[in-house]
Amino acid sequence: MNPQQEIERRRTFAIISHPDAGKTTLTEKFLLFGGAIQTAGAVKSNKIRKSATSDFMEIEKQRGISVATSVMGFDYKGFRVNILDTPGHKDFAEDTYRTLTAVDSVILVVDIARGVEEQTDKLMAVCRMRQIPVMIFVNKLDRDGKDPFDLLDELEHKLKIRVTPLSWPISGGATFKGVYNLHRSELNLFSPNKTGISDDVRSYTSLQDPAIDTILGRAAEALRQDVELTSVLPKFTKEAYRAGDLAPVFFGSALNNFGIRELLDTFVELAPSPVSRTTNRGTVHPIDKNLSGFVFKIHANLDPNHRDRIAFFRICSGVFKKNQFYFHPRLHKKLRFSSPVMFQANERNLVEEAWPGDVVGLYDTGHFKIGDSLTEGTSFFFKGIPTFSPEIFRAVENQDPFRAKQFEKGLRQLTDEGVAQLFTQQPGNRKIIGTVGELQFDVIQFRLLQEYGAKVTFRPLSYLKACWVESEHPGDAEEFFRFKRDQMAFDKDDRPVYLADSLWMLERAIADYPKLNFRFSAEVMLKEEEAVD
- Regarding whether 418 and 312 lie in a shared domain, the answer is no
Supply the pLDDT for residue 473.
Answer: 79
Lowest mean pLDDT among 59-68, 128-137, 494-503: 59-68
- Which of 200-209, 270-279, 501-510 comes out lowest in average pLDDT? 200-209
In a domain, 218, yes or no: yes
- pLDDT tens, 352-404? 999 999 999 999 988 998 899 999 978 999 988 877 778 899 999 999 999 99
Q: How far, rounded to the nearest angstrom, does the alpha carbon of residue 409 sit from its chain's CA centroid?
A: 26
Q: How confident is the model at residue 189 (pLDDT cuts 50, 70, 90)?
A: confident
> Average pLDDT, stretch 232-252?
96
In this prediction, residue 346 carries a pLDDT of: 57
In whole angstroms, give the CA distance from residue 70 to residue 381: 24
Q: What is the pLDDT of residue 194?
A: 60
Rounded Cα distance between 370 and 12, Å, is: 19
Same domain as 396, residue 255:
no
pLDDT tops 70 at residue 430: yes
For residue 458, report the phi and psi dihedrals to the nearest 5 degrees.
-120, 145
Q: Would 531 be classed as within a structural domain?
A: no
How many CA atoms does the CB half-sphere of 424 hold within 13 Å?
A: 14
Q: Report the pLDDT value the prediction gives residue 52, as an integer from 0 to 100.
A: 46
More confident residue, 349 or 112: 112
For every residue of 122-138, DSSP letters joined together read: HHHHHHHHHT--EEEEE
Going from the C-alpha of 315 to that of each of 12, 70, 192, 412, 483, the distances in angstroms are 11, 17, 39, 27, 47
Give the lowest-confidence range in 98-112, 199-213, 274-288, 311-325: 199-213
Question: pTM value?
Answer: 0.83
> Is 46's pLDDT higher than 50?
no
Q: Which of 327, 343, 375 is the last residue of a domain?
A: 375
- Domain closes at, from 270, 296, 315: 270
For residue 87, which phi and psi values (nearest 5 degrees)? -65, 145
Q: How many domains does the chain have?
A: 3
204 DSSP assignment:
-
Q: Which pLDDT belongs to residue 303?
A: 65
Q: Please compute the mean of the pLDDT values over residues 493-507 and round it to a whole number.
A: 92
In a domain, 529, yes or no: no
| Residue 67 vs residue 187, higher pLDDT | 187
pLDDT at 110: 96
**486, 418: one domain:** yes
Considering only CA atoms, which of 324, 322, 320 is closest in space to residue 294? 320
Of 114 and 54, which is predicted with more confidence?
A: 114
Q: How confident is the model at residue 522 (pLDDT cuts 50, 70, 90)?
A: low
- 333, burial (CB in 10 Å: exposed 0-12, middle 13-18, buried 19+): exposed
pLDDT in tens, 81-118: 999 877 755 656 677 888 899 999 999 999 999 999 88
201 pLDDT band (50/70/90 cuts)? low
Same domain? For 303 and 252 the reply is: no
Q: Using the predicted structure, report yes or no on whether residue 489 has a pLDDT greater than 50.
A: yes
The predicted structure's pLDDT at residue 67: 43
d(CA 344, CA 367): 25
Name the residue among 346, 306, 295, 416 with its Cα closest to residue 57.
346
Q: How confident is the model at residue 65 (pLDDT cuts 50, 70, 90)?
A: very low
Answer whether residue 48 is part of any domain.
yes
pLDDT at 462: 92
Phi, psi of 222 (to 5 degrees): -60, -40
In a domain, 265, yes or no: yes
User: Are 37 and 66 found together in one domain?
Assistant: yes
Residues 113 and 221 in one domain: yes
Query: Does residue 295 share a domain with residue 260?
Result: no
User: How far is Cα 384 from Cα 280, in angstroms, rounded to an integer?
Assistant: 10
Cis ω on the peptide bond leading into residue 192 (within 30° of 0)?
no
Same domain assignment for residues 73 and 217: yes
The Cα–Cα gap between 490 and 468 comes to: 9
CA distance 256 to 249: 18
Euclidean distance between CA atoms 152 and 5, whole angstroms = 36
> Quick one: 213 and 362 in the same domain?
no
- 10 located within any domain: yes
pLDDT for the residue numbered 105: 97
pLDDT confidence of residue 70: 75
Indicate if 436 and 480 belong to the same structural domain.
yes
Q: If pLDDT is split at 50, 70 and 90, which confidence band does 193 have?
A: low
Percentage of the chain exceeding pLDDT 70: 87
Q: Is the pLDDT of residue 309 over 80?
A: yes
Taking the C-alpha atoms of residue 235 and residue 254, their distance in angstroms, rounded to an integer, is: 26
CATH classification at residue 325: 2.40.30.10
Q: Residue 77 belongs to what domain range?
A: 3-270
Residues 331 and 243 in one domain: no
384 found inside a domain: no
Alpha helices in 427-502 (DSSP H): 439-452, 474-483
Domain end, chosen from 313, 340, 375, is at: 375
pLDDT at 304: 62
On the CB side of 371, CA atoms within 13 Å amount to 19
The CATH number that applies at residue 44 is 3.40.50.300
Residue 532 has pLDDT above 50, yes or no: no
Residue type, 445: Q
Q: 305 pLDDT exceeds 80? A: no
Closest-CA residue to 368 (of 295, 451, 445): 295
Residue 324 domain-assigned (yes or no): yes
pLDDT at 143: 93
Higher local confidence (pLDDT), 488 or 437: 488
Q: Residue 344 and residue 350: Cα distance in Å, rounded?
A: 12
**Does residue 312 sit in the same domain as residue 400?**
no
State the average pLDDT for the chain: 86
